[in-house]
Amino acid sequence: MSVEVENDLIKFSYGEAHACVAKKGCTLVSFVVDGDEYLYLSEAANLSSKSPTPVRGGMPLIFPAFGNSYLESLKTVQQHGFVRNMAWDFVIAEVLTECTVARFRLSHRQCEKEQQYKNWCEFYGQPIKFELTMVFELFPDRITVNTGLVNENVSELEFQFLYHTYFRVPCVRDMYITGLKGAKYLDRLQTRYGLDGSPMLKVEEQTDKLYELGENNREIDILSGNYNVRLTASDNLKDLVVWNPWEENAAKMKDFEPKSSYRNMCCVEFGTIGGTTVTQGQRWQCQHTITII
C-alpha cells in the first residue's frame, strides 16, 4: 500500500490493486489487479499536463458537453467538453484501513484562459463559477470514482456528463456485454432507435450505441476470457454508451496506436446525456464502480 507522485502522474496501490491518475483531465490511466491491466491506453497517449490533446484511453471525464451537444447552452462548447483538456490539482492521497483514496480538484479559476470555458460562459452572460472534485477509492478488487460539482453563481447550470472509459480486452470479437436486455437504445451510426432484446451484446463492427438504462440495467458486465468486470453507477447516471471505432476510424485517429488495437478495447461509459441542471449554491454528485469478477 503506497502513494507515489511522479511528475504529472499519481500512482497509488492497495494490496494487489494498483491505479494511476494523470493530472491531465484527472484521467484514470491504469487499473491493475493481480498483475492484470483492465484499462486500455493508446501507446501514443500523451500524459503530460501541457499536452494540447486529451488522453486517448483510460477514463477521461466528459464535461460539460457530450459529443456535439444539441443543448442550446452547450452548442458552442467543443465535442466532449473541455475539462479533459485541463490540468487538475492533486489534493491529497491517503492509505486508509479499507482502501487507498486519492483526491483531485478543478475550479473555474484554472479555466479562465480556456476558450471553450469562455464559450460556455457566453450563454449565461457571466463567468461561470464552479468546482469539480474527483475522489478515487482503490480496494483490493475494485475502484470507485466519486465526482462532485458545485455551482457557485448561476441560477441553473446545465451540463452533460460521462465517464468515457476505455476497457482493455483480449479480443473484442470474443467479448460479451451483459445487463442491457430491455434497455432502449439509439444507434448513433444509423440514427435508428431500438430495444435490446438480447441477454448479451457482441461488438463485431464499428459501434456507437447510446442506451437509456432502466431499473433492470444497473449492473453491466464485460466478459472476455479471464478479463471480467462488473460496472455499477449511481442512479442519476441513467445513460450508457458502447463505442468501438473499428479499423477504418482507428486508422484516422493520430493518437490511436497501434492502429490494430481497436481489437483489444471497448468503451463502456456511464453518464447523463439528456441534460442535467444544478441550481446556484447546490452540489451535484455521482459515483461509478469497476469491480473485478
Residue 56, marked binder:
yes
Residue 103, marked binder:
no
What is the Cα 166 distance to its own chain's centre? Answer: 8
112 neighbors 121 (Cβ within 8 angstroms): no
Q: What is the pLDDT of residue 1?
A: 80
Q: Which residues are catalytic?
A: 164, 269
The stretches of 40-150 forming alpha helices (DSSP H) are 115-124
Query: Which pTM does this prediction carry?
Result: 0.96
Can you give the residue ranges of every domain in the chain? Answer: 3-292
User: For the chain, what is the radius of gyration of the CA atoms?
Assistant: 18
Q: What is the pLDDT along the chain (293 residues), one digit of tens a residue?
A: 899 999 999 999 999 999 999 999 999 999 999 999 999 999 999 999 999 999 999 999 999 999 889 999 999 999 999 999 999 999 999 999 999 999 999 999 999 999 999 999 999 999 999 999 999 999 999 999 999 999 999 999 999 999 999 999 999 999 999 999 999 999 999 989 999 999 999 999 999 999 999 999 999 999 998 899 999 999 999 999 999 999 999 999 999 999 999 999 999 999 999 999 999 999 999 999 999 99
Angular region, 141: left φ>0, alpha ψ -120 to 50, beta rest:
alpha
Angular region, 118: left φ>0, alpha ψ -120 to 50, beta rest:
alpha
Q: What is the pLDDT of residue 119?
A: 96
Cα–Cα distance, 16 to 106 (Å, whole number): 30
36 neighbors 226 (Cβ within 8 angstroms): yes
CATH fold group of domain 3-292: Beta-galactosidase; Chain A, domain 5 (2.70.98)
Q: Among candidates 129, 128, 160, 132, which has minimal Cα distance to 147? A: 132
